[in-house]
Structure formats: structure tokens, C-alpha cells
Chains A and B, each alone.
Chain A
Amino acid sequence: MTDMIKLSNVHKSFGSKHVLKGVDLSVEKGSSLVVIGGSGSGKSVMMKSILGLLTPEKGEIEINGHPTVGLKGGKRDLVNRQFGMLFQNGALFDSLPVWQNVSFAAMQGSNMPADEALELAKESLALVGLGENVLDLYPASLSGGMHKRVGLARAIATRPPIIFFDEPTTGLDPIMTDVINHLIRDCVNELGATTMTITHDMSSVRTIGDKAALLYQGKIIWSGNVDALDQSDDPFLVQFINGLADGPIEIAGA
């Protein structure tokens, strides 16, 4: 099966801090990879490097077989049009109502007329279980769960072939966490998209992912099927998935 996303020996530093130290990772077309790792392990930096928000100093990132590191302007836009992204805190635009947030890419990127964009927003919101009553609300008046749902609706609005999820359940109660995890799984299944999720929530890993990778100190130290997580005797993985304070993982700031 072809790789939709492929990272080869990716390095990224901030000043003297070497965050990514040679990441090698691939996501097959149509699969859902969940990258787990503690705070400060480099998960967000890796995802931002794939999205083109950060430029690695070394290594290559391929999307659907095409190298993307260093692309700018129109060429970068063409790559980004294949992406949908759910940010950790939603990153909804405060100045726009929900429907314009959801159909933003279609309106700005494809010049979709407002009436068609409104219909697109209704369809996308319906996929995440939200009705027309939220269309004209502004992000400031939404609850945390609704924020995530609207963010998810925006991520899938243009039906992109690749969707990224950055800590999709952070800040949600356990019930809403389960709701969002199942929504993500159902939406992705319906769209047939390739996805990459970064999280440290094991319930998300088991619900969303079919493959998982553990990032530790800027390197992928374990990868495999989600079903294999519990059978693994890798001491780093065992410590992480069981949430143990004692083990080989160095705790940041301790």
C-alpha cells in the first residue's frame, strides 16, 4: 500500500534545543496513525513540520509521494489543500460565525458563493451532530465540546484526503471525550481519509487509531498496530500506556 505521509530523518531545533532528532515515520493511504508521547516529546513540532508551519533543518517530508520541505506560496497552498486540521483548542476564528468558520477554506480558497458555503457548513455540521441552530453563533458562545465539533466540521468540510488531529480530546470531560473520539472515527470512516492524530489520551488511541507510534525525545522508539500495544513488552511503551511514574521515561522538569 502507498504511503500518504512519509517522514525520513527529520530534524528540527529551536536555538540549542534539538526537538526532533531524526524522525522516521510513514502513514499508509486510508489508515489512521496515532502518535503518542509525553509533553515536550516533539509531537506538535512534528505535526507542524508536516503542515509546513515549521521548516525542518534536515530530512524529508513527502505527501502522497511529493517532497514538501521548503515549499512556499502557491505550491505550499496546493499541498495544504489536501489537509484538514483539528487544532488542540479548535483555533476557530473569533470574528466569524460558526458557518463561516466551517466553510472558510471553500469560501477563501475556492471562491465558493455564500449560499453554497452555507449549505456546505450545514452538511459538515450535521456530520458532527450539530444542527442549524449553531450556524450564526460565534466561537465565544460555544462550549468546549461544541468548539471541538465545529473544529472537526471545519477540518472535514472540504472532504480532504488527509486529516490531522492535534490532541482532539484535551480539556473535555470523559463522556465528551468518548463522543469526540467516536465522531472522529465515524467521520474518517465515512470520508475514507488518511489521518494522523497526536495525543496522550489512550482512549483516543484505541478508538481512533489502527496504527500507533511512540515518540520519545525526538525519535520514534516504537510503532505497530494498536492491537499490539497491550502485548508489547517495550519498557517505554509499557510505562506510557499504563501511566506509571516509575520506568525508563525521563520526566520533564523532574
Chain B
Amino acid sequence: MNPLARIGRFFLGFLAHTGRLAVFIAHSFVAIIQPPYYLRLIGQQMIRIGYFSLPVVALTSFFTGGVLALQIYYGGNQFNSEAIVSSIVALGITRELGPVLGGLMVAGRVSAAIAAEIGTMRVTEQIDALTTLSTEPFKYLVAPRVIAAVISMPLLALVADIIGIMGGFVVGTQSLGFNPAIYMQLTIDFITPDDITSGLIKAAVFGFIIAIMGCYNGYHSAGGAQGVGRATTNAVVSASILILSANYLMTSLLFSS
């Protein structure tokens, strides 16, 4: 094929894909706002998305906090600045690493699961069955997952913040020889409510991205088992990229002032 035609076809495909995603998001918002509300399904999804992600998010944030403490200490030691370890660990975890690494871990776990589940429902005609049973698939499948993810992710980020700081505390006091009382006091003194809330806002947006990308890719999957596999991969990749780019945008907006 002509290289120009290839570029043109790629660009048109990208535009079509973006337009379809925009329509999907708009349709999802309508489904979220309009009744009926499936509260039981929202609760079930909160357990699947939030509660069952706790171990992976907790482990990730604990080790991240510990590594952060070590790196700041080794880097800062050259300038006799190991005292800033506690404050930078707290800042780094609450503002960036807690929500972002938590978001990426949940994207890998949850976005893939959502895409696989909805994709399987698509190729086995279960979504068609929902429609014939007078149940709107966006209300029954998409809205509960999006609502649950938007509520669960900030809660997970809060847990990640606490455990990440504890990871830094454990490494700082057990391995680097810091005084526990002084370490905690410096953490509390340095951290502000804005540091925490900015991370929670980010986490809510990441939750939306994770659920929407899982639902979108699953809903539009086609071509049997191979199609479902492709939808699962696309969901994780697109959610991860969008989380990182949204993080940059939100950091620019939230901290520019």
C-alpha cells in the first residue's frame, strides 16, 4: 500500500476510534445519572475492584515507600540531607506514587478483568440477551463498574498513602537508624491536607479511566477468544497510558498555582 494511504488510513482509524470512545463515555454518563440504579451491583463491584485490590496496592506502596526512603537517603547523604527523607517520602507517596502506582496496579488487575468479562459476554451474546430482557447494558454493566471504581480508587489511594509512608518509616527507622518519633513528627509537620486531597482527586480520575477503558474494550470486542484477548490487552495498555498522561495534566493543573 502507498505509504501516504497507510498514514491516512491510520489517522482515520484513530479519529473513528476516538469518536467511538467519546460516544461511549457520553452514553456511560447518561447511564450513571438516569435511574434505575443497581446499588447491589455497585457494592459487588466495589468489593471486586477495591477490596480485592488491597493486597497488591498495599505491597506495592510499602516497597515503594521503602525504596524511596533508601534512594533519598543515599542521594541526600552526599549533602548531609538525610533529615529530609521523611518529608519527601510523605510528599512523593501522597502526591504521586500512591495514586499513580496504585492506579497502574489496579489497571493491570481490574481493567483486564472488566474487559475480559464484558468481552466474553459480548461474544457469547449475553449482552444481546440483556437487551432482549429489557435491561440496558450500559446501566447494568458499565455504570456500576464506573461508579464503583471512582469510589474505590481514592479509598485505595488513602490506604496506599498510609502504607507507603509506613514503608518509608520501617526502612528509615530499622535500616537507616532514624529516630521513630522524630521521623513521624517530621512527616506530620511537612504534609498538608492539599497533598492528600490532590492524590485522592487523581485516584478518582484514574478509577474512571480504569473502568471506562475496561468496559469500552470489552463492549466492542469481536472475533471470539482472540478478540477477547485483544480487548484485555488493549484495556490495560490504554488505561496505563491514559493514567500517566492524565497524571501529568492534573499535576500541571493542581500545582500550577
Hey, which bits of chain A sit against chain B, CB under 8 A?
Answer: 48, 51-53, 77, 80-81, 83, 85, 87-89, 91-94, 104-105, 108-109, 154
CB distance from A89 to the nearest CB of B (A): 6
A80 to B133, CA, bound (A): 7
A91 to B133, CA, bound (A): 12
Residues of A within 8 A of B133 (CB): 80, 104-105, 108-109, 154
CB distance from A51 to the nearest CB of B (A): 5
A199 to B136, CA, bound (A): 28
In the complex, the answer to whether A94 meets B126 with C-beta atoms within 8 Å is: yes
A247 to B121, CA, bound (A): 39
CB distance from A69 to the nearest CB of B (A): 15
In the complex, the answer to whether A89 meets B124 with C-beta atoms within 8 Å is: yes
In the complex, the answer to whether A91 meets B125 with C-beta atoms within 8 Å is: yes
In the assembled complex, B132 has its CB within 8 A of some CB on chain A: yes
In the complex, the answer to whether B132 meets A80 with C-beta atoms within 8 Å is: yes
| Number of CB contacts from chain A to chain B under 8 A | 50
In the assembled complex, B131 has its CB within 8 A of some CB on chain A: yes
In the complex, the answer to whether A108 meets B125 with C-beta atoms within 8 Å is: no
In the complex, the answer to whether A85 meets B129 with C-beta atoms within 8 Å is: yes
In the complex, the answer to whether A91 meets B134 with C-beta atoms within 8 Å is: no
In the complex, the answer to whether B131 meets A52 with C-beta atoms within 8 Å is: yes
User: How many residues of B are in contact with the other chain, CB < 8 A?
Assistant: 14
Secondary structure of the B contact surface, majority rule: helix
In the assembled complex, B63 has its CB within 8 A of some CB on chain A: no
In the assembled complex, B128 has its CB within 8 A of some CB on chain A: yes
A52 to B129, CA, bound (A): 11
Residues of A within 8 A of B128 (CB): 48, 51, 53, 87, 91
In the complex, the answer to whether A87 meets B131 with C-beta atoms within 8 Å is: no
Chain B, residue nearest A54 (CB): B128
CB distance from A223 to the nearest CB of B (A): 25
A230 to B125, CA, bound (A): 34
CB distance from B222 to the nearest CB of A (A): 12
Instruction: List 25 A–B pairs whose Cβ atoms lie within 8 Å, in order of A's numbering.
Output: A48-B128, A51-B128, A51-B131, A53-B131, A53-B132, A80-B131, A83-B132, A87-B125, A87-B129, A88-B125, A89-B124, A91-B124, A91-B125, A91-B128, A91-B129, A93-B129, A94-B120, A94-B126, A104-B135, A105-B134, A105-B135, A108-B134, A108-B140, A109-B133, A109-B135
Secondary structure of the A contact surface, majority rule: mixed
CB distance from B224 to the nearest CB of A (A): 12
In the complex, the answer to whether B134 meets A81 with C-beta atoms within 8 Å is: yes
Chain B, residue nearest A110 (CB): B134
Residues of B within 8 A of A87 (CB): 125, 128-129
CB distance from B71 to the nearest CB of A (A): 44
CB distance from B113 to the nearest CB of A (A): 12
Chain A, residue nearest B125 (CB): A91
> How does the 8 Å CB contact mask read for B108-129 relative to A, with 1 for contact and 0 for none?
0000000000001100111011
CB distance from A87 to the nearest CB of B (A): 5
Say whether, besides A89-B124, A108-B140, A77 and B129 are in contact (CB < 8 Å).
no
Residues of A within 8 A of B120 (CB): 94
In the complex, the answer to whether B125 meets A109 with C-beta atoms within 8 Å is: no
Residues of A within 8 A of B132 (CB): 51, 53, 80, 83, 85
A116 to B143, CA, bound (A): 27
Contact of B134 among A53, A80, A93, A154 (CB under 8 A): A80
CB distance from A222 to the nearest CB of B (A): 28
Residues of A within 8 A of B124 (CB): 89, 91
Chain A, residue nearest B135 (CB): A108
Residue from B121, B125, B129, B140 with most neighbouring chain A CB atoms (10 Å): B129
Chain A, residue nearest B41 (CB): A95
> How does the 8 Å CB contact mask read for B234-254 relative to A, with 1 for contact and 0 for none?
000000000000000000000
Residues of A within 8 A of B140 (CB): 108
Residues of A within 8 A of B136 (CB): 77
CB distance from A41 to the nearest CB of B (A): 19
